[in-house]
Every structure is written in structure tokens, then in C-alpha cells.
Amino acid sequence: MDEIALKLLPLVVAMLLGSVLIALVETKLKSLFAYVVLVIIVIGSSVPAIRALAGHPLEVIIKNPQVFGDIPIRIDALSGWFILIINLTMLTGGFYGIGYLKAYRKENTNLSLHWILMVIFHLSMLSVCVIQNGLLFLIAWEIMSLSSMLLVIFEHYKPETLRAGLNYLVQMHLSVVLLTLGVAGLYLQTQSFDFSSAMQLDNAAILPLFILLFLGFAFKAGFMLGFIPLHTWLPHAHPAAPSHVSGIMSGVMIKIGIFGILRMILLFPLSKTGYLEIIGWIILGVSLASGLYGVMLAIIQHNLKKLLAYHSIENIGIIGMGIGLGCIGLGIDNPYLSAAGFASALLHTLNHSLFKSSLFYAAGNVYRAAHTLNLESLGGLFRKMPHTALLFLLSALAICGLPPFNGFISEFILYGGLYQGSLHARPVGALLLILTILGLALIGGLAMLCFTKAFGIVFLGKGRKPLPESDWQEGPGNLIPLYVNSGLILAIGLFPATFVKFLSAPLALFIPNFNLSFFNFELLDNLQQVSRATVGLLAVSLIMLGIRYIVTHRTVQEVAPTWGCGYNGGAERMQYTATSFVRMYRKLAAPVLLVHRKNVEFPEIFPHEKRTYETHPEDALEANLIDIPIDLMQRFLSFFRFIQNGKIQNYLLYGLVFLFLIGLLSWSKLI
């Protein structure tokens, strides 16, 4: 056990002790103390991660002969990158959590459980990135899902939160089942739990195991694989969770699914099987579908957090496209393509965790101020919380991939890769790639529609319903995480080359003979130009604002009611609402979407009560691919209700019937 391991062990033990102490600290200091524990974990884990990214990975073997065999702890560049993302989001999430949970000061036990789970959740995510022993990986994976489920049901007195938590638990269990099958199959082939043993897998076994593990990880990532809806837990779990938890979960826990897929692509000798290119195409197609599906459903949602949750599916689609492109590049061994693909995937994981978590924190502020997230009853919040509004706008721009921000950079690299691919691929490949480009552009457009609606309806215009009196104020507690994230978003947007340089180490893992100079020449120089463009955009707009100020500050500026064609009754109810804003889209996308409309018509000529019109967006895939099979199974199970009906005669009859049945079966040689 070399000295690094000695250093690791006390860290883990100290953290577990720390988390126990949280329960004892009295309420006011509890959140702060827990945050200090989190910070210590962040520091402790970032050091090896940065050293791994800088090029020398860490490997520790722990012996446990009976159950696990030897447990390798490896921190290589890929896990280093993901550890940094986790730590960053945990820092901002934890800080925001302190502010957010002030309102729950009176529920002491609930708070201490919450913060202990937060520490366990953080530790389990780090261990998932680090552990390379199959069985222990499964245990860490499940602890992660379990602790996140318990974090989600923080407001457990609401029945729908419990239902969402339970739905989430079962879906995560399915993910573990798939992973268990994969690991068990792996063990059968190679007699050892060590992931790196997957190298000697023989050809026949690679594909089924890869598919099993891929499905398991895709569950957590929230892919929508055509007829296998793995994403349905996202839109239920996120609205139910408190904002800082949903921020952390969608910011980083989904990425652990992506990490799993990347780790598998790294470990499984797919190139040996020759299927790598086809797998790449499948992943690309699937991610495009889930990207489109995610954003198409996000647009028609009424609940702000549900909208953001569906949007996470879209961004996972974009990351998936990067991975798919990378695999295709590896398949036809075109280094530029694979570098572009994996670089865009890795960078987009960082970008998404930045802007998605700040969007959720902003949604948390909205919830604190308006006690509701229903878009139909929000509006005009800009006055009440200008900082949050502007930072929400900044993240919304970033998520749509618009230039001066980080979303644009990863999509730019992806576009570069897709175009490069279409140049060299076979005709059919070129056609498919162009279709992906068109899809990606359409996703960009749809994202813009979705976020103009979200930002415009929530923050601008007049309030659609009177705001409940709430003593919540915009303070440093709930703004600093947003500012930190926005600062990073802008920094990556303006100076992409410095950040993409970090990616060279993880990329070297993926691309076999990866020469750094090629990477610098092709990708980094181009990004230098891009940074000149984005900086130019920012400079020009600032100059224009300066000119505008010089020209207009002397002229008279008056304020008057909005132009209403002469109608000057209150405009609150005349404003465009969220549903009306996307009505044209809903008509266009009607076949894909499932929207229930309740329409109360005027019963008689002179109507007494008012006419109401309600729409409830449903997830079409979830409705008929999950709900219908479940209640079919339910009905099938209820046929067998008669067994335990209390009569002694029947109880004895079952014994005889069983005897007779087995006699018949063995007589007819069936058994």
C-alpha cells in the first residue's frame, strides 16, 4: 500500500466521521459545517484529479480475497476530468443549498439527514469515477442512486414527491440490474472483476456485454433509445427535488452515466470486433433522436423545472452525438474526427453542468419568491430579482449555444467534426451526417424557442397572478453560485483554447496513437480564432452600448403605458402566456406530442360561468411504453388473488394439485 493510498484512506475515514458529526451540530451551524466537510472532500479529491489531468495517473490496489478479489483504484485523465466537474458542481450546489434550506430551519432531523446524504452522495459519485472493480463499482453506483433518491424526497410530506422518489428508485434499480448482468457476464468470461480485464474478452462476448452495460449507464444518463424510454425518471425527479439537489443531479449525476459509457468505450476492445463504426452510428442516431425528443417535449411543459429536466435530455443527446462521432472516428481511424467528437462530448459535459445547474438555482430563486413554478402564473419577476433574471438569461443563451458563451464552443467543435466527417465518409455516411447537422441546427432553433418562452414568460412582462407575500430577498447566498457559474461560462466562451488544452490528456486515452502537435495545430489554433471572434462580438456590443449612451443620455426619455391600440385596462391577462407562445409549434408537432386538452364550452347562448381551456402535456413515450405494460401486468397479477382466501380446504388443495401437476409433468417426461 504505497503512501498515496495511505493518504486516501484517512481522507475517506475523516469524511465518514465528519458526516456523522453533522447530525450533532445544532441547526444554525449545521449547513455551514456540512459545507466545510464538502469543501475538504473537494480539495482532497481535486489534487489527484489535477495531477492525473496533468499526465501522471494514480493506481492503488486494495486486497480483499473473499468477495471482491483485488480492488484497483485508478484515477486516470478521464476520471480526473469528471472528478473536477463533480467537485465544481458540488461546491456551487452546496453553497446554494445553505441559502435554500434556511426556510427549513425548524425541521432539524430532516436537515441533518439531508446534509449527511449530501456528503455520502458526493463520496459515492467520486468513488464511482475511481473504482475499477466490478462488484464494488455496482455498490458505489447503487449508494449514489439511493442517496440521491433520499435527497430528492426532502420535502417528503408532499405525496407527489414520494411518488417521484419511488419512480426514480425503481428506474435506478433497473439500471443496477442491467449493470449487474453486465458485470456478472464480464466475470464469467474473464474470472475477475477488474474492468481492465475486459481487454482479453473474446469476440463473441464483447458485443452483448457492451450493450448490457451501455443500457445500464444510459439509464442514468437519461437517453431516450427509441422504443426503450430510459429518460422518464428525469422529468419526475427534478421538479420534486429541492432546487440545489436537482441542480447537482442534472448537473453532474447524469454525467456519471456518460462517464460510464466513455469508460466502457475505453476498456472494451471494440475495435477488435470491427463493430466500432456501427456502434458509433447507432449512438449518433440514438442521441440525435433523444436530443430532438427532449427539446420537443421541453417546449410544451408548464412546470419550469420539468422544462429544464427535459432539456437535460436534449443536452445528453448532444453529448451522445459527440461520443457517437468519436466512435465513428475511431472506427474509420480518422484522428481529427475522433478528437473533435470526444473533445466536444467532454467539453459539453462541463458546459452543461455549469449552465444547467445555474438554471436550476435560478429556478430555485423563482420558487422561493413565487412559491410556484407553473409558467402560467409567473411573470414580471425581473423587477423583484434583477440579478437572477440576468444570470438566468446568460445561462439560457449559453444553453442554446449562442456565441459569446461556452455552449457555442462545444457545439462549434461538434459541427466541425460533423462537417469533417461528411467530407470523408462514404455517400450514405455523408448523407446521415448532413441529416445530423440539420437535426442539430433544428435542436438549436427549438432550444431558442424554448428558452425565449421560459425567460420571457417568467421574468418579463407583467405578473400574471399576484405574487404571494414572501420574505425572500435576493442575497449573496443565492447569487454567488450563479455568478461563479456565469463567470466560468463566459470564460470558456471567450477563451476556449485554454480550457480545451486540459482535454488533451483524456483524449490521448481514447485515440490510440494521438500526437499532441496534431491536436494543437488542428483544434487549438482554430479555437484561438474563435476566441478572437467571441471577444470581438462582446467588444462591439459594448462599444455600441457606449455609443447609445453618449447619443441618448442627453435626449428626453419618457415612460408611458405599453401601446394597446387604445385599450388601457390592465394588460396582465392580455399578455401572451406560455401555451399561446408555443401554440403554432404544438400544432406542427401534434403527432409526436401527447397533449390532453380540457375545453369547457359555453353551454347556452347567454353564458353564466366563464369558458376555460386547459392543456396537460404528457410524455407520449412514457404513456404507452411504460404505463400501459405496467397496468397490463397489474391486471394479470390480480387474476391470482384467490390463492390466499382463508379457507383451509383450499390450502390443502394447493398441495395436492401441486403433487398431481409434478406427477403429470414427470410422467410426460416434460421435466
Binding residue for other proteins, selected from 7, 28, 156, 272, defined by CB under 8 A: 156
209 grid coordinates? 456485454
Residue 448 is a binding residue for other proteins (CB under 8 A)? yes
Q: How far is CA 105 from CA 31, 109, 121, 522, in A?
A: 10, 10, 22, 54
Residues listed for the chain: 671
When the beta carbons of 58 and 295 are compared against other proteins, the nearer one is 295
Binding residue for other proteins, selected from 128, 337, 339, 530, defined by CB under 8 A: 530
Residue 226 is a binding residue for other proteins (CB under 8 A)? no
Residue 36 backbone phi and psi in degrees, to 5 = -60, -45
Residues 506-525 that bind other proteins (CB under 8 A): none
Buried b vs exposed e over 58-67: b needs ≥16 C-beta within 10 Å? bebebeeeee
When the beta carbons of 10 and 536 are compared against other proteins, the nearer one is 536
Rounded to whole angstroms, how far apart are CA atoms 365 and 422?
44
610 grid coordinates? 366563464
When the beta carbons of 516 and 544 are compared against other proteins, the nearer one is 544
Residue 548 is a binding residue for other proteins (CB under 8 A)? yes
Q: How far is the CB of 149 from other proteins (least distance, A)?
A: 9
Write the DSSP assignment of 146-207 as a string of letters. HHHHHHHTTSTTSHHHHHHHHHHHHHHHHHHHHHHHHHHHHHHHHSS-BGGGGGG--HHHHH
Q: How far is the CB of 119 from other proteins (least distance, A)?
A: 16
Residues 468-487 that bind other proteins (CB under 8 A): none
Place of cell 410524455: 619
Q: How far is the CB of 53 from other proteins (least distance, A)?
A: 26
Q: How far is the CB of 311 from other proteins (least distance, A)?
A: 15
Binding residue for other proteins, selected from 3, 427, 568, 635, defined by CB under 8 A: 427
When the beta carbons of 91 and 437 are compared against other proteins, the nearer one is 437
Binding residue for other proteins, selected from 441, 592, 600, 632, defined by CB under 8 A: 441
Binding residue for other proteins, selected from 468, 561, 566, 569, defined by CB under 8 A: 561
Place of cell 411573470: 379
With beta carbons less than 8 A apart as the criterion, state whether 49 and 41 touch: no
Binding residue for other proteins, selected from 36, 199, 545, 632, defined by CB under 8 A: 545
Around Cβ 475, how many Cβ atoms within 10 Å? Answer: 11
With beta carbons less than 8 A apart as the criterion, state whether 204 and 324 touch: no
Query: Which region, judged by CB under 8 A, interacts with other proteins, from 316-324, 343-351, 352-360, 633-641?
Result: 633-641
501 grid coordinates? 488544452
Binding residue for other proteins, selected from 200, 203, 562, 624, defined by CB under 8 A: 562
Residue 204 is a binding residue for other proteins (CB under 8 A)? no
Q: How far is the CB of 422 from other proteins (least distance, A)?
A: 6
With beta carbons less than 8 A apart as the criterion, state whether 307 and 366 touch: no
Binding residue for other proteins, selected from 6, 9, 50, 431, defined by CB under 8 A: 431
Rounded to whole angstroms, how far apart are CA atoms 169 and 145?
7
Query: Which region, judged by CB under 8 A, interacts with other proteins, from 35-43, 179-187, 219-227, 481-489?
Result: 179-187
Query: Which region, judged by CB under 8 A, interacts with other proteins, from 76-84, 125-133, 488-496, 567-575?
Result: 567-575
Residues 116-155 that bind other proteins (CB under 8 A): 135, 138-139, 141-143, 146, 150, 153
3-class state of residue 593 by DSSP = coil
Residue 339 is a binding residue for other proteins (CB under 8 A)? no
Q: Collect all residues with Cβ–Cβ distance below 8 Å to 17 and sequence separation of at least 6.
A: none
With beta carbons less than 8 A apart as the criterion, state whether 456 and 581 touch: yes
Binding pattern for the stretch 92-111 against other proteins, x by CB under 8 A and - elsewhere: ---------------x-xx-
304 grid coordinates? 419550469
When the beta carbons of 77 and 146 are compared against other proteins, the nearer one is 146
469 grid coordinates? 407575500
For 191, which DSSP code? Answer: S
When the beta carbons of 211 and 266 are compared against other proteins, the nearer one is 211
Q: How far is the CB of 578 from other proteins (least distance, A)?
A: 10
Q: Collect all residues with Cβ–Cβ distance below 8 Å to 88 and sequence separation of at least 6.
A: 353, 354, 488
Rounded to whole angstroms, how far apart are CA atoms 321 and 319?
5
With beta carbons less than 8 A apart as the criterion, state whether 135 and 67 touch: yes
Q: How far is the CB of 603 from other proteins (least distance, A)?
A: 27
- What sign results for the dihedral spanned by CA atoms 201, 207, 211, 214? positive
Q: How far is the CB of 497 from other proteins (least distance, A)?
A: 12
When the beta carbons of 39 and 228 are compared against other proteins, the nearer one is 228
Q: How far is the CB of 271 from other proteins (least distance, A)?
A: 26
Rounded to whole angstroms, how far apart are CA atoms 343 and 413?
8
Residue 205 is a binding residue for other proteins (CB under 8 A)? no
Burial of 657 (0-12, 13-18, 19+ CB in 10 A): exposed
Adjacent-strand bridge partners of 598: 614
Q: H-helix or E-strand containing 587?
A: helix 583-588
Rounded to whole angstroms, how far apart are CA atoms 294 and 396?
16
Residue 173 is a binding residue for other proteins (CB under 8 A)? yes
Q: How far is the CB of 397 from other proteins (least distance, A)?
A: 7
Query: Which region, judged by CB under 8 A, interacts with other proteins, from 8-16, 491-499, 532-540, 610-618?
Result: 532-540
Residue 91 is a binding residue for other proteins (CB under 8 A)? no
When the beta carbons of 21 and 162 are compared against other proteins, the nearer one is 162
Number of residues this chain uses to bind other proteins (CB under 8 A): 145
Taking the C-alpha atoms of 38, 237, 232 and 294 in order, what is their torsion angle to the nearest 10 degrees? -80
Binding residue for other proteins, selected from 571, 592, 628, 632, defined by CB under 8 A: 571
Q: How far is the CB of 486 from other proteins (least distance, A)?
A: 16
Residue 652 is a binding residue for other proteins (CB under 8 A)? yes
Binding pattern for the stretch 385-414 against other proteins, x by CB under 8 A and - elsewhere: -x--x---x---x--xxxxx---x--xx--
Residues 582-601 that bind other proteins (CB under 8 A): 582-585, 588
Taking the C-alpha atoms of 82, 85, 88 and 89 in order, what is their torsion angle to the nearest 10 degrees? -110
Q: H-helix or E-strand containing 225?
A: strand 224-225
Residue 462 is a binding residue for other proteins (CB under 8 A)? yes
Residue 66 is a binding residue for other proteins (CB under 8 A)? yes
Binding residue for other proteins, selected from 565, 601, 603, 608, defined by CB under 8 A: 565
Binding residue for other proteins, selected from 17, 590, 662, 664, defined by CB under 8 A: 662
With beta carbons less than 8 A apart as the criterion, state whether 360 and 246 touch: yes
Q: How far is CA 640 from CA 124, 635, 637, 644, in A?
A: 41, 10, 6, 9
When the beta carbons of 24 and 605 are compared against other proteins, the nearer one is 24
| Half-sphere exposure of residue 220: CA atoms within 13 angstroms, side-chain side | 32
Residue 192 is a binding residue for other proteins (CB under 8 A)? no
Residue 653 is a binding residue for other proteins (CB under 8 A)? yes
When the beta carbons of 22 and 77 are compared against other proteins, the nearer one is 22
Closest CA to 123 of 139, 101, 109: 139
